[in-house]
Amino acid sequence: MSAVPRWALLSAGGAPLFLIGGWTLAQAAQPDGFDPVRQTISALAATGADHRWIMTAGLTGLGLCHLVTALGLVTAAPAGRGLLALGGLATLVLVAFPQRPDGSTTHVVAAGVAFVALAVCPALAVPRRATPSLGGDQRQPPDGPAPSGRARGAALAAAVVLLGLLGWFAVEFFTDGARIGLTERLVAGAEAVVPLAAVLTALVSQRRPASSGPR
């Protein structure tokens, strides 16, 4: 059975630290009048923003962490790992094309791809159950035993919550609502934490067989 390396815990834990730490420090460095409830995370790294390097570094670290975690989370299904990597890559693209006063289509599209990929990722990250062969035996998937119904339910619930938060943010964004910044921080923060939960769950699961082995 393939094991999740412990360095994946560092990258998964680094994602929320880079994101939340980045926007916290960047907001503190802004002049009076910056409103995190109304203004987006991208505004902190936009061209012309004060100390934009802080949020730029935070988003860059976030994207790299997602890419490394996707590489190390070997117990997840390929589709889920691919979406996590896509979310990380799209984050790096939006960093390369920051928000501009006259608008940036590439930035908006990259942000949309990152948000959607990371929201759907949990639903597709749980490997499928093994299917019985013609002889009646139950074949195990290549990465180990099939996941429990509880694990699959938790993954689907996480995806539903993330998609719900993303939908709320989309409504605020397209209607120019008063809580664009707040809803974006909620969905972005949640999406940064979910891979950490997946890595922790995988590491705990790996320790259980060892502790319950033959004596």
**CB–CB of 64/91 below 8 Å?**
no
Q: Position of tokens 């002049």?
A: 31
Neighbours of 12 (CB within 10 A): 29
With a pLDDT cut of 70, the percent of the chain lying above it is: 86
The model's pLDDT over 51-94, given as tens digits with 9 standing for 90+, comes to 999 999 999 999 999 999 999 999 999 999 999 999 999 999 99
Query: Residue 168, exposed/middle/buried by CB under 10 A (0-12, 13-18, 19+)?
Result: middle
Torsion of CA 71, 73, 75, 81, to 10 degrees: -60
Average pLDDT of the residues in 9-13: 97
Q: What phi and psi values does residue 12 have, to the nearest 5 degrees?
A: -65, -40
d(CA 16, CA 161): 17
Q: Is the pLDDT of residue 34 over 50?
A: yes
Span 124-137, pLDDT tens digits: 998 865 444 444 44
Predicted confidence at residue 151, as pLDDT, reads 81
Give the C-alpha separation, 207 to 205, whole Å: 5
Separation of CA 185 from chain center: 13
Phi, psi dihedral angles at 132 (to 5 degrees): -65, 145
In this structure, what token pair is assigned to residue 194? 């979910």
The stretch 168-182 carries a mean pLDDT of: 97
* The 3-state secondary structure of 129-181, one letter per residue: CCCECCCCCECCCCCCCCCCHHHHHHHHHHHHHHHHHHHHHHHHHHCCCCCHH
Q: How many CB atoms lie within 10 A of CB 137?
A: 9
pTM of the entire predicted model: 0.86
Say yes or no to pLDDT of 33 above 90: no
Residue 193: the pLDDT is 97
Is the pLDDT score of 207 beyond 90? no
Say how many C-beta atoms besides its own lie within 10 A of residue 189's C-beta. 16
Best CA proximity match to 111, nearest among 83, 92, 130: 92
Quick check: 211 pLDDT over 70? Answer: no
Is the CB of residue 61 less than 8 Å from the CB of residue 14?
A: yes
